[in-house]
Homo-oligomer: A and B are copies of this chain.
């Protein structure tokens, strides 16, 4: 399983092969590696090494008389052990700075902008996922009567997130009662995380003198108010980049990938499940749980907004310039954290 015992030569061949393949998208032959990358060896020798690498499952031949292409495992080894961190170019850094600073008007707009920046700079699909509210600390809860039987619930969370939910009842509710409710809710709940609230809501509101009819809506732990499924927002920008990639020449493949992208819920769950710890997380091809993404890689990183955190990153074909992308995603995540936290 471990590929630590690769010879130095094998490593260099793998590295050069991947670098070249990422650029050209064409299977790489022994001659190219021997000549273009000046390894001081003849193509024949390279060929022998390539045979070894193929036996190890790191590279593969599309057909007999073609060069080799990296396998998912090959990319994995490359990413884990061979990757040289490529520093961000001054140009890229500048672009990110400019584009990220120009975005105002609420976290949602900023996240949209972030995904756009990522998509544009990397020529991949840029994505951003809004923070999960579960860890968010409630700062204020508003109840706004809309019409007979409808109220708008607004939940504001520390660090500038807010979301609104439209609730319905059978019958109208006196405005006084609503005010009262609002007061009590704010009093008893603000300062707590939404996750915490969900678990303890029934106890916390047990002894209020409020109308049980109204109360029922909030006390229910299953109430939509305290859930954040349906609510984590996913932005994805740069599908046109994806379409241009040769790996998506197959329309069916492209179509099913796009469908998966629109099925946001699953995608969000998947990406969140991978991006647990700190730092960059890379998922390559068959490592992806989603069927439609078996030929894609994901480079993702967390960002913070106060004490909640979300994920941004890029999606593209497994053949992607990992080292460059890592720097970009990393830096963008940092910029985003900065833009969202109290600067």
Contacts and interface: CB of A to CB of B under 8 A. Distances in A.
Contacts of A154: 142, 154, 156, 162
A256 interface: yes
Interface stretch (A70-78, A206-214, A238-246): A238-246
A336 B240 CA distance: 31
Contact of A152 (B110, B147, B162): B162
Interface stretch (A99-107, A191-199, A279-287): A99-107
A148 interface: yes
B231 A243 contact: no
Given A256-B240, A258-B240, A140 B148 contact: no
A188 to B, nearest CB: 18
A23 to B, nearest CB: 20
A193 to B, nearest CB: 16
A139 to B, nearest CB: 6
A240 B251 CA distance: 9
A133 to B, nearest CB: 13
Secondary structure of the A contact surface, majority rule: mixed
B243 A251 contact: yes
28 contacts: A104-B166, A105-B224, A105-B230, A105-B231, A106-B164, A139-B144, A139-B145, A139-B146, A140-B142, A140-B144, A142-B142, A144-B156, A144-B162, A146-B158, A146-B342, A147-B306, A147-B342, A148-B342, A150-B342, A152-B160, A154-B156, A164-B164, A238-B262, A239-B258, A239-B262, A240-B259, A240-B262, A244-B251
A249 B158 CA distance: 48
A87 interface: no
Interface string A149-173: 1101010101110111110100000
Most buried by B among A149, A240, A249: A240
A212 to B, nearest CB: 22
A109 interface: yes
Nearest to A343: B149
Interface in A66-125: 104-107, 109-110, 116
B237 A243 contact: no
A254 interface: yes
Contact of A262 (B104, B158, B237, B306): B237
A231 B106 CA distance: 10
A239 B140 CA distance: 38
A255 interface: yes
Given A139-B145, A147-B342, 18 more contacts: A105-B230, A106-B152, A106-B166, A110-B166, A139-B144, A139-B146, A142-B154, A142-B156, A146-B160, A154-B154, A156-B164, A160-B166, A162-B164, A239-B239, A240-B255, A240-B259, A240-B262, A249-B251
